[in-house]
Structure 1
Amino acid sequence: MERTIDIKDLFKVVKKRFILIMTITLGCTLMGVAVNFYLITPIYESSAQILVNQKNTNENNIQLTELQTNIQLTNTYKTIIKSPVILERVHQKLSLQMSTQTLSNKISIENEKSSQIISIKVQDKNAVLASDIANTVAVVFKDEIPSIMNIDNVTILANAENSAGQKPIKPKPLFNTLLTCMGGLFISILMAFGLSYLDNTVKKEEDIEKILELPVIGIVSPMKKI
């Protein structure tokens, strides 16, 4: 016969397996705390911004065509920023103890649509190094672009700053710990229901009524041995 479970049965399962549920949930929570607060290395992010804008030698306003050209150049510049010719100079200037490929992986270039501003973002476990790399990339790119593109239209808009109270962007320990807690609770409840569903032993007369769908006529009390 198929077994049916009502809301009352669900609460009974939770009550019966409460210690199991709490043990697994607490264990997952403690594991989340240990991993997120003590084992995962914090990662910091710093960002420098450059502006792609043709320098105006006279007082005339920039023409629309020049503006469109600058915007189109940003896509090319995003590629050049992470090119070996730029990163190798950054590597040399900072005397980095990493390969240029590793350096490239730490850098991300962002540019909003129809914007002349390019953001150079760097992630590293060392907050000071992240800001140094971002600023150096911006300076080297500005210095090299005239010889690469035969045009001088890059201005450093904002330098990356490293404040003493800078917070890491990852991990997010409180959020991650909450997720592991909820995950542990979900798994433990599923396990409790699974164990209850697989338990086919008859413990009281109500179990017989549910399984056989027949009323219990009488109960035989246990007899003591003489």
Structure 2
Amino acid sequence: MDTTISYQRLWELFKKNYILLFLSAIILAAAAFAVSKFVIHPKYQSTTALLVNRSQNNNAGAALGDQQADIQIIYTYRDLATRPVILDQVARQLRDRYPDVTSTSLTKMVSVTSAQNSQIFSISARSNNPTESRDIANTTADVFRNKAVQVMGSSISKVSIVSKGLRENRPVSPNVRLFTLAGFLLGGFIAVVYVLIKEMSDNTFRDLDFLEQLKLNSLGTVNYASFRKGRAK
């Protein structure tokens, strides 16, 4: 039996099963919305920006070289900011307000990012509480600013805080709209696959030409007739 499906047949299948497709998409979209809204704990993020620079140098060539050196050393700072030498002290300072915070948990909550060819890099903290995220980000930045000079030497560069982290009440994850859209598309896709598999596995002969290919004789056709039920008088 030929397993190919024409575009006309696909359109007929869509018209016949559009309610199933729509219901499947709506059900999975609702499930994804409920999970992202009420099951997954929201995450809040706060970010502190820091600037790496050197003391002013009257020599323009030397100043440009110092600036390039600061940009290169940011990669070292990014690695240092998430090391135990910084996070251990951050955990000690936050212990009174957040007893559950440890240096181990901070490694999963704190991240450092920087833009290309920029002397500014950011320390971000993400947790289930917006106030906790803000306090972790700001405390990490303060500890790093003081500790970096001790670890790497005061002659290398100066670190200053450009902007403090704020309390962000809007969660950064999960993305409820994205989850809902993904559930809608997945529901529609599952319904389409189900309809296609059901159609491909249907062995009903609908075309007389196929019987002729098998060298079988057609004995006749049975047409559909509609009858109204009524009582015989």
So what's the TM-score if we normalise by structure 2? 0.82
Structure 2: distance between partners of 1:220 and 1:55: 95
The runs of 5 or more residues in structure 2 that have no matched partner are 225-233
Alignment root-mean-square deviation, CA: 2.5
Structure 2: distance between partners of 1:107 and 1:177: 28
The residue type equivalent to 1:159 in the other structure is K
Q: Secondary structure at the match of 2:141?
A: helix
The residue type equivalent to 1:136 in the other structure is T
Q: What is the match of residue 54 of structure 1?
A: 54
Q: What is the match of residue 173 of structure 1?
A: 176
Cα distance change on mapping 1:18 and 1:140 into 2, 3 Å: same
Cα distance change on mapping 1:4 and 1:209 into 2, 3 Å: farther
Q: Secondary structure at the match of 1:63?
A: helix
Q: Deviation above 6 Å: which 4+ runs of structure 1?
A: 58-62
1:38-69 deviation per Cα after TM superposition (whole angstroms, max 9, x unaligned) = 1111111111011111234x888772232223
The runs of 5 or more residues in structure 1 that have no matched partner are none
Give the deviation of 1:220 after TM superposition: 6.0
The residue type equivalent to 2:166 in the other structure is E
| Count of aligned positions | 215
Q: What is the match of residue 140 of structure 2?
A: 137
The residue type equivalent to 1:154 in the other structure is V
Contact residue 137 and residue 165 of structure 2 kept, 8 A: yes
So what's the TM-score if we normalise by structure 1? 0.84
Give the deviation of 1:117 after TM superposition: 0.8
Aligned with residue 200 of structure 1, among 188, 203, 225: 203
Alignment of 1:35 with 2:38, yes or no, is no
Q: What is the match of residue 66 of structure 1?
A: 66
Cα distance change on mapping 1:14 and 1:143 into 2, 3 Å: same
Give the deviation of 1:146 after TM superposition: 2.3
Q: Secondary structure at the match of 1:120?
A: strand
The residue type equivalent to 1:211 in the other structure is F
Give the deviation of 1:196 after TM superposition: 1.6
Q: What is the match of residue 212 of structure 1?
A: 211
Q: Secondary structure at the match of 1:17?
A: helix
The residue type equivalent to 1:131 in the other structure is R
Q: Any residues of structure 2 matched to 1:9-24 within 5 Å, and which?
A: 9-24=9-24
